[in-house]
Structure 1
Amino acid sequence: MRPGPAPRLAELAAERASGALLCDAGTVYLADGKVVHAESPLAPGLEVLLITGGRLTADSWREAAGHPAAAGRVGRFLVDSGRLTDAELEICHLGALFDAAWFALGPGSGPRGFQRGAAHWLGPVRPVDPVALEREIRRRGELLDSLWPYPRVDTEPVVLRRPDGHLPPVTRRRRAVLALVDGVRTPVGIARALGRPAFHTLLDVRRLAAAGYVETPRAPRTPMPRAPEPGPAAVDFAEPDAPLLRRLRDALEAHL
């Protein structure tokens, strides 16, 4: 298996390098060894979060991003022109950075190269220590698995389950996610439609799967190349028996 991007990121941080670390699922930008931005086609960008969240209009964003004075420093221009406060920019930027970095540096992604000297058009906002970023990525992976340890839920279209009348109530936030479940949208597609960070939507979808509101995709069976040798019956662990796990969980909770 090809190693992930984390070792390469650590090397670049030690070198105090500046440039763009290209990964299979995104790009991480560094300046003097610190992470200054990240982007991924799987995560809504800063502009999506600001516009869909109602903080900026699409026209206001386009005007700022295309202004000659904003070249290479769009973030600073948004603040200097009164469109955002420093705090608003910093909070939204960090949310977008960590969201994109989860995909760029997380499971399934690998390094593709480093463009030395490349800079992001947003410009400096608040650098992030690479060690802290890697620690947060590990924490997020552990959190997802603790909620519902089936990563296929994150990437396949979300499909509603037939209600059985005994499901726990859901929060308003997750009701908004359920309203967009159509059997076509993936969690990332739902996040983009809602203007929310993609990782937060992954959490919501895993919680909904654990509660029984959406289907847990079943892993494809691996074809057997030949008949098994005589002996004890083999047990197939490839497919999650989601209904059984839910029944076990409900039974345990009923006795607590």
Structure 2
Amino acid sequence: MSHPTFDIAGKTALVTGSSRGIGKALAAGLLEAGCTVVLNGRDGVALETTRAEFAALHGDRVHAAAFDATDPAAVAAGVAGIEEETGPIAILVNNTGAQHRSPLLEFTDEDWHRLLDTNLTSAFLVGREVARRMAPRGHGKIVNICSLQSEVVRPGIAPYAATKGGLKMLTKGMCADLGPLGIQVNGIGPGYFDTELTSALVADEEFSAWVRGRTPAGRWGTVEDLVGALIFLSSPASDFVNGQVLYVDGGMLSVL
């Protein structure tokens, strides 16, 4: 039996960007821990496919709310609907994100703004809306999915790193404002993970060899590696942890 301080059974959690990849794995981890989970994304069809897949295992504890996390009106309506239909959101995971690789001199204005909206503005909008409802209740957990690139960068992803660095500081700023209201806001910083979005990098043997050689753990991360960190940051075990980013990177940030 696990320590009771990690118990989150019965809590309602919203995970944005959860129809696939890391978001889907995080949602699965919360369901396995006994939470009721609301999946979110813009693609209603993909979202329903994931909901049905989870429902086969977890029954009526999994729900779907399709809305655009970068649209303030859609966020307000979506969060209100979740609280009315499913229950008070106790755990928010801001996972919505996108990547675009291009040399800085060729990066378009459109792609810059798309990354800003998807990776940073979404966390601000959803975080603010959910926190407005957590505050009167005097408790809540918000976990922002940051990145190794919140600290370091490689060529071709400067705008992505800028958004993830901004998300790290938004996490700290939210801690400053929301901590006195009983809400803990922390981040998880994944390193190099093997997902649908990184399949081309994983398949590139030269790059893959670089990742394995650069990471003390000697391998790519698997999405399941993130679940323990999320359960910790979602549970009473982290009630005095606030404004931190927990890097789950196999040790990459710690070595040269």
| Interval of TM-score (by shorter of Structure 1 and Structure 2) | under 0.3
Q: Which has the higher strand share?
A: 2
Larger radius of gyration: 1
Q: Which has the higher helix share?
A: 2
User: Taking structure 2 as the reference length, what is the TM-score of the superposition?
Assistant: 0.24
